[in-house]
Structures are given as structure tokens and as C-alpha cells.
Structure 1
């Protein structure tokens, strides 16, 4: 009997140790390198007997991201953010009272331990361009519906203080789940653009991507085409307002937003002008290839062979075959071409397999497969409205010359009579004045958006509205 009592005690302890209340705020810091760190804050709630999580990345000023599912079973916390392209999985350490696990984004994994309690926030970077209240214009939070997609989109509308109707623009964010300010690296470029344009007499609507912030919907299942229907819904919303000039509504798209904008404009007659910022003008498959080479974080023994391997991977992933067949073909292809490169870098087969699995998942999402097969020039060619295209000369993510040439040729082929294409010197992908244009430079720069670029945008728009 004594033995049974001991066994029961052990089982009871096991149950109790895993039934603790995990609701509340958890925080942790992951190392990105020898001298770089990034902190996370997870707010876990219990709503109708289900865990719901929101998480923030203070250093990047990203808040209220909503993973699709949270579970806690047998001491393992799983925060499934497949809708956002992320995941956290950690096992609870009863002795240290912390979760010990890994934060995953795409193929990147960071060891991350979470402790309960609030995070002591670092002093924020200086961002001198950010506006300070009171603003010389009106601001309101608005909600509009994409009824076909059953999505509610929430954003901010800034409107000049004047009588009568104002021209308006809709800001369209780049790739990845973005909030209404297109927050990145502690910068909020859409806030800066909205403030500048509204001071010039132009109303501006900026909104959280579907599934981000206060907007509903599932981000991970959406494609560039789906996002374009959200923009069409935004156009319809502005046309319904008495304080907006329905004949002067334009689109400003940054990066992926620049290929969403033409798709949206060609679905409605409600768009009268367009501004493309760091937009691409060549097929998505070519953009992906270029970025796979230029942004690769590891060396390869033979560049030509590596390029051929990436081209074939993209060809496999973008085919019309069943997804199971595509994943099998990619697995075989990566095991022959990429695994030999990774093995000496990571040291063991299990890690290599894990990285390859991540690569396959990344290359087969709905968004990526659509992107591979989408050529924005096809939609740009159809545009009969005025177009302004701006790219930075030091953009390392979207090369200016090859993409602006694609945009220019499409506009000429379509017979567009009113367009302007400018390569702005010494500006990066986010239109910051910079030294190198590389991604690790973004956060170090105090400037959020070049005044020269802001002036180009507002002056051109004012020339094209009534």
C-alpha cells in the first residue's frame, strides 16, 4: 500500500505542477549575435476556457500581434502563430519557474526563455520626425468591411481641418504582417507620411493588415491578390464619406504594397492616381531569386551552382502540382543541393533536416506561391491613371534600376501618358538617408523617412488633384 501511496503522490505532483495558472504577462530576451538582443512580451489570457495570446516586440515597436492558437499541455506551451509566420514552443521548468524553448520565424530559430512579469523597457531610440499632439488636422479611428472575405479592417483616418471635401490617399504596406504605421526597426514610416500629407491638405487612410492589430482575418492564408481586395474595400469606404472627394482618391504602396496597388486599381474605377514606393516591376520569381542570393547569411562554394539550385526550387514550388508532390520534390532537391552546404555550417543532420523543413514550409505558403507566379508589370501595363514611382539608389531589397526599368516598360507598353519615375540618391528600402542600405542599418538611423522623398510625393499628388 505504501508503494501505491508514493505512486499516487508522484502522479498528483505531476498533475499539479502542470496545472498552474499561465495567464498573465511573460517576457524574455533572445540573442541575435554577440552584441545584439531582442525582447518579447507575451500576454496570455483565458477566454471561455481557451488560451488567447497577444505578443509585442518593444524594440521594433510592434504590438498586439495575435497568434491563431495557444495551448498548454503536459508542461509544454505552444503559441501557434502560423497566421503570422511565427511560433513559440517552450517547456515549463518547475524549478526556475520559466518556459524554456524556441521562437521560430520562417527558417530562423532563436532560443527564448520566458519568465512571468513585466519587462523593463529600454529607452527608445530617438525618432525626431514623429509628430506631437495637438495635430493641425483631425484624426479618427475607422472600421470598414471586406464583405466578400468576411474581414473587418481597422485603421486611422487623418483629415485636414477645412470645409468641403479633401483628396485622399490609402497607404498599402509591404510584405509580412504590418500594423497601420508599417512599424519596423522602431520606425513608423506610415505615420510620418500620413502626417506630412495631411498637413498639405490630403486626407490619409492607413490600416492594420488583416489579422494584425485590431483587424480581423487570417494573414497567413492570404495572398497579394487577397490583400488587393482589402484595398478595394478601403476605396469604397472613402467614397462613402461626405468629407472625401470621391474623384480624387489615390493609392500609395510600399514594397509589396506597390504590387498590390495596381491589382486593386484595376478592380475598381475609384482610383485616380498612384504612388509606388520601392515597388518591383519584374516577376516575383526573379525577385525571390535575387534576394536569396544577395541576402543569403552563409557562404557557398559555387555561386553558379547555388543560383541554379534556387531557380529549380522556385520552379518546383511555383508549379501547379499537388502540394504533397511539391513538398516531396523540394525535399529531394534540397537534400541533393542545399544539405551539403549546410552540413559543415550547422554540424549535424538533425539540424540540417530542420532547416530544410523550414525552407520547404516557407516556399510553399499560399502567399509565396502566388508571388512567384505574379508579374506586376502585367497589372501596371493596364493603368491609365497618373503614376509616380520612387526607388532608393541604395535599396538592397528591391534593386532600383532593374525594377524601375520593368515599371517604365510596362507603362510605355500600356500607353500611359502621365508617369514619373525617379531614383533617389542614397536612400534605402524605407527611404532613409543611409550609408550602406543594408537591413542591419535601419534601426540605427534616426531618420524615418527622407524629407526629399516626402516632398516628391506631396508635390506630385498636389499637381494631380483638383
Structure 2
């Protein structure tokens, strides 16, 4: 097969002028450990030199995922940043098959897709079209935040071209995070930046204070400090010649979402705000309701073993009831009663934990002297967790009395919401154990009720880190599942940004 003559469209996509016709629907089985999954790639040609594609894995409820189409000599390369997968293939001479290799983290297998004769990609063309990807480059930047001459280091991903481009600044959640918001192999902000930059949106992400190449100390920073950091970075974006200052917004995760809303309530607000798992409840309420961090692994293991043993005893008694003549209804009634008993006990334990944490946090809030507050916290933790390493209690007590913790215990996200009048998109995951979607979205919507440009969405089966549900992901060769950023969230963010930044 000879090399094709290539042409470049307006956003950097390459499309063959005289190569095989790729537009259509292509299907085939994707081999995975233990079986296979049906896969479909739909391609349309909206212009003479442009191809658009979407990827469907219906068995995993992954539908219409945008994919870029590029050409390397005779090869066609399909890439989906949202799913971190790549299909490099060669069309057969008759144009009826695509043969190549499918690759994603932990999986690399041959794949053959066949053209579906008589099935035109009408549904794809008629629905909201996938956006064509563009190329981008990344610059390393340094921003100074005052007072204190704090140096914030980061990466600015900018679409190739003259611009000016819409832009977003990513603001991280509480804790210490690098510019990629990395957790293990999961790069939350890194993956988001890649996807948005490919869609023509410039993205700035920064190392937190005291992390990576940034100076300062995050534990000493208050909300006011983080707000000044965000405003300094926003100003940095607005003065760049290839960034459109009228189309520059903030995307914040967790606490970063609340900082973004604070910025939106100040003079010279961002053009728009997107929050990801932001809190609508006071800082005290949020910290008290989050999963228990003080229990040691040994305590957790013992509690789990005790629960399993207790349920095993229930099942053993149910078996004895059957052998002693009890009918199926009687046995089922017994099991149901025991299950309700277990749930009631679990609720009581959760209520007791919540009360304990509220009391401990309230003592920290009311005790100004750090030494006194730490001594009380250590004593409370030792009494509640007698088998815990004393060093863990001391570390926790120190964490709770940092300037950041004390400031957050007094933080009320409702205070400034009435002043926010720019467009706001609120996204929370239904499987988030740290920031309850129902309670926090309701509180945020109530506080923003005077703003007529607010959209709130609960994303089903998405957790605090906005990862795709494990049931929807392909396993690695070792049957484990690597976390992948939620395509639903990425699509919602991308569409919102482009909608708000559309040139009139």
C-alpha cells in the first residue's frame, strides 16, 4: 500500500485526500482477560480534509467518547484522551477492515474491526458532534503571590496557533498536591489538562505551596492566602497575549472549588467557575462528616474481622434452623432481622463517630493555645483508639492545630455566595464519601439562588476524585483496574467551558 497524500485542516488534524474512505461504522471484538468486549468506532467526514470519530464500548456503558484521528504514513491512529486508549491500525486494501493494535494502561492486544455494510453513522452526525482535537504545547511557568513573595511553579498547556484562546486555572483540593494532582498513578489535573488543551482551551495548573517547585508552606496558608494565589495566577493568564482575558475561568476541586467561588465574589471575577466536589456546608461540618482517618490499620482490620465473624455466626445459625425443621420463610425472616440489626448497629457507630469528631474539632476551635489543644486531642484519640501508635495521635493533633486547619474550621462557604454572579457549573459525584453530593449541592444552590447562571449536576457512580466507575473500565492483564478520569465529567467540563467562551 503506498503512502497517502495528506492534508492539514484548520485545527491540525490530518486527513487523507486520496486514501481509503474511512467514514462509516466499524465493529469488532476487543480481547480482554477472560473474554472479549464488543467495540465500535464511528467516523464521519464533515469536510474534505477532516475526520471526526467516536468510540463506543456498550458493555461498559462507554458511548460516544471523542477520539482524534491522525495519520502516520500508511497507519491510522485513533486516540481518546478521556479513556487513555489508542488504536493504531492499517486499512485493508479493500477498505473493509481496520487491523492493528489496541493499547491502554495494562492492556496491549491485536484488534480487527470490520466495516458495517449499510450502517451509516447517522446517529453520530445528527447528535452533538465530537469536537476535533488540536495539538498543543506546554510551558513551565513561575508566578509570584503576595504578600510573602511566594513562588508558585506550574505548567501552562496552550493550544498551537495564534489565539487568543479561552483559558482555565485548576485549583486543587485540601492537602498537599503537585500540579498534576497526582494520587498514585492517577493524574487528575494532568489528564484534565491534556483533554482540554486538545479541545482548544489553555490550562494552567500549579504545584501547591511547599510542593514540587513551589515555595511556601500549605499548612500555614489560610483561605485568604489561597485566594490570593488564585487571583495572582488568574492575572498571569489574563495578561498573556495568546490568552483571551474575557474568556478565562477557574476550575476547582474540593476546597479549590470553594476558593474559585470566593474569587468569583471579588472585584474582577473570573469569566466563569466550575466546581468539582466543592462543599456547601461549613468547614466544621465537612471535616466532621468525612471518613474516619484516626483508626490504625490494625484497628480497621480487627473491626472488619469482627464483622465477618458475626455475620458468619448468623449464617451458621440460619443453617441450623433449616436442619431443625424451620421453613424457608422463617429462615429468611431471621436473616432479614439480623441484617437490620447489623445496619442499626452500624448507624449507631457512625453517629457516635460523628459526635466524637465534632467534639474534638470543637475543642480545637475553642482552644486557642496549640499546646493545650494538642494535649486534649491526643488524650481523646488514645481513649478512643487504645491500640493506636501514640505517634499517630500526636501527628493528628499537630495537623488539626495548623493555621490552615484552624482557618478551615471557621470557614463558611455560604458567606460570599450571594455575591457570585458569573456563570457557575457545580459537579459532584454520587459515590463521593468525603463530600456528600446531595447535601453539598443543595447548600451551594441555595447560596447561589440569586445567580441565574448556575447549573448543578450529580454524576452517577463517580467518586471524590472523579474517576470512572470500576465497572465501566477494562481490567489490566493482572485483572486489576487502574483508575481513569471520568469521561462524563470531562465532557461536562469541556462543553460548559466552550459554551461560556463561545465568541458571539
TM-score under structure 1 length normalisation? 0.63
1:246 pairs with 2:245: yes
Asked if residue 227 in structure 1 is aligned to residue 226 in structure 2, the reply is yes
Distance in 2 separating the partners of 1:188 and 1:127: 19
Partner residue of 1:309? Answer: 356
For residues 240-259 of structure 1, the C-alpha deviation after alignment (integer angstroms, 9 at most, x for no partner) is 11111111110000112111
1:313-332 matched pairs, under 5 angstroms: 313-319=360-366, 321-331=368-378
Distance 1:325 1:435, change over 3 A: same
Distance 2:422 2:446 in 1: 16
1:396 match: 433
Alpha carbons of structure 1 residues 224 and 431: separation in structure 2 relative to 1, 3 Å: same
Q: 1:233 aligns to what SS in structure 2? A: helix
Structure 2 unaligned spans of 5+: 1-103, 109-132, 304-345, 473-478
2:60 match: none
How many Å separate the matches in 1 of 2:349 and 2:466?
34
- In the other structure, the counterpart of 2:399 is 362
Partner of 1:385: 422
Q: How far 1:294 moved relative to its partner?
A: 8.7
Partner of 2:213: 214
- CA distance 1:436–1:174, change in 2 (3 Å): farther
- Which secondary structure state, in structure 1, belongs to the residue aligned with residue 237 of structure 2? helix
CA contact (8 A) 1:246 1:270 kept: no
CA distance in 2, matches of 1:354, 1:161: 51
Distance 1:294 1:321, change over 3 A: closer
Q: TM-score, normalised by structure 2?
A: 0.59
Measure, in 1, the Cα distance between the counterparts of 2:471 and 2:230: 33
Quote how far apart the aligned CAs of 1:266 are. Answer: 2.9
Per the alignment, residue 409 of structure 1 pairs with: 446
Q: In structure 1, what is the Cα distance between the partners aligned to 2:107 and 2:240?
A: 33
Deviations 1:116-171 (CA, angstroms, capped at 9, x unpaired): xxxxxxxx96499xxxxx98112211112113231111111111223331111001
Query: Is the counterpart of residue 459 in structure 1 residue 495 in structure 2?
Result: yes
What per-residue deviation string (whole Å, max 9, x for no partner) do you get for residues 418-454 of structure 1?
01100111111111122599xxxxx954342111211
1:185 CA displacement: 2.0
* Counterpart residue number, 1:427: 462
- Report the Cα distance in structure 2 between the residues aligned to 1:201 and 1:317, rounded to whole angstroms: 47
Match of 1:175 in 2: 174
- Aligned 1:294-305 pairs, distance under 5 A: 298=300, 303-305=350-352
- 5 Å-filtered alignment, 1:37-186, equals 126=106, 136-186=135-185
The answer to whether structure 1 residue 340 and structure 2 residue 339 are counterparts is no
- What is the RMSD computed on CA atoms of the aligned residues? 2.8
Larger Rg: 2
